[in-house]
Structure 1
Amino acid sequence: MSEQECAYYQSLYEVAMCINSSLEPATVLHAIAEQAAKALSAKACSIRLLDRQGRTLLAGTSHGLSKGYLRKGAVEVAKSKIDQETLTGKVVQIKDAGNDPRFQYPDAAREEGIASVMALPLMVGGKAIGIMRLYSDKPREFDVSEIHFATAIANLSAMAIENARMHQALRTDYELLTAYEYTMHE
């Protein structure tokens, strides 16, 4: 087994342990972003979730990106060809984010030192709920094994998000039921 394959397995193990130990989405997603970036020798990783209307990708978490880059503006699906394509379920790569018209904020990418981007869909039940992006500070194309690893991480991310949402919904239902029962016994 190669050193890279060992790093992939170690990262998958860390991600699975984090998902299994916490239902706090912020904690889990940040650990996922960090592990993905490290395992793929990427500059950074971000996870964004689609808003209810499907128009904007909301900040979920990131690792390796500056606060200035994160405040560059809303990521609007209609203005980002990379995101439109990724939300159909495809893995999309951009070799030169600073000059590719599919990227919504090319100037911000250049200022941040982002050269290449790989965007992966976060899918639940065949429906996209968000996007994981990996950023490289050097021009590169992620190879097949890197894409497969990143896809596994993206799938785990989507599962973690869905589990956290279901847990929150169950907690809310339980609290409502408890409050209802309390008022019925008064």
Structure 2
Amino acid sequence: MSNQRLYKTIYHLAKVINSSLEPGTVLNGIVEQVSQAMEAKGCFIRLLDNTGQNLQASAYYGLSERYAQKGPVQVANSRLDQEVLKGETVTISDVTKDSRFQYPSEAAEEGLVSLVVVPLTSGSDKVVGVLRVYSASPREFSNEEVDFLNCIANLSGMALENARMFQALKRASDLAKEFHYRTFED
């Protein structure tokens, strides 16, 4: 990945992250920019559900709806994600042959071969999900690419946290307005 493309991607990602406080909009922009910058088949962000037992599809780019909706990744059944949720970066040269990958036959049908997965952390360094980048051919991801993805995952986690806090504040404000309105109407 050239420095010029790296800087251009970071600039576009900063614009995406700062353009909206809607979590879905932010995440969709991130996966598109990352996939294009990495010249990858696709990119996927999966976030932990409230139980911490499943990684749910949150945003994807370059992948089919069928693949994206194949079901939640169950952390207990995915050694790959268990490693990543501990803060490790994992690369796999062939997802159809690696026992850590939960859905190898679905990946083969989708035409996915190599994969890099980095932890998505919130501002508190708590891992809240994973950022996955897939290639359609065998690929060794360089150290620079992995560093880039870790940087983007950290920025994305903070952007997601900001968007979630904004949504919570908006709900609280709406409830306060409703309470105020009902109190003075009665």
TM interval, shorter chain, is over 0.9
Q: In structure 1, what is the equivalent of residue 58 of structure 2?
A: 60
Distance 1:129 1:139 in 2: 28
In the alignment, which residue of structure 2 is the partner of 1:5?
A: 3
Show the counterpart of 2:33.
35
Deviation at 1:161, TM superposition (A): 0.9
Q: Could you tell me the TM-score, scaled by structure 2's length?
A: 0.95
Deviations 1:29-60 (A, max 9, x none): 11110111111111100001100100111111
Aligned residue among 102, 105, 108 for 1:104: 102
* Consecutive unaligned residues in structure 2, runs of 5 or more: none
Q: How do residues 87-98 of structure 1 correspond to structure 2 at under 5 angstroms?
A: 87-98=85-96
- Cα RMSD of the aligned pairs, angstroms, is 1.1
Structure 2 distance, partners of 1:30, 1:14, is 13
Aligned position for 1:156:
155
Could you tell me which of 85, 96, 100 is aligned with 2:83? 85
Which amino acid is 2:23 matched to?
A: P
For 1:48 and 1:84, the matched residues in 2 are separated by 13
Determine whether 1:73 maps to 2:71: yes
CA displacement at 1:158 relative to structure 2 = 0.6
**Alignment match, 1:165:** 164
Match of 2:176 in 1: 177
**Identical-pair percentage:** 48
Count, aligned residues = 184
Equivalent residues in 2 for 1:113-128 (5 A)?
113-124=111-122, 125-128=124-127
User: Could you tell me how far 1:71 is from its partner in structure 2?
Assistant: 2.4
Unaligned 5+ runs, structure 1: none
CA–CA distance in structure 1, aligned partners of residues 68 and 86 of structure 2 = 24
Residue pair 2:57, 2:69 contacting (<8 A) in 1 also: no
Secondary structure class of the residue paired with 1:185: helix
Return the offset for 1:159. 1.2
TM-score normalised to the size of structure 1? 0.95
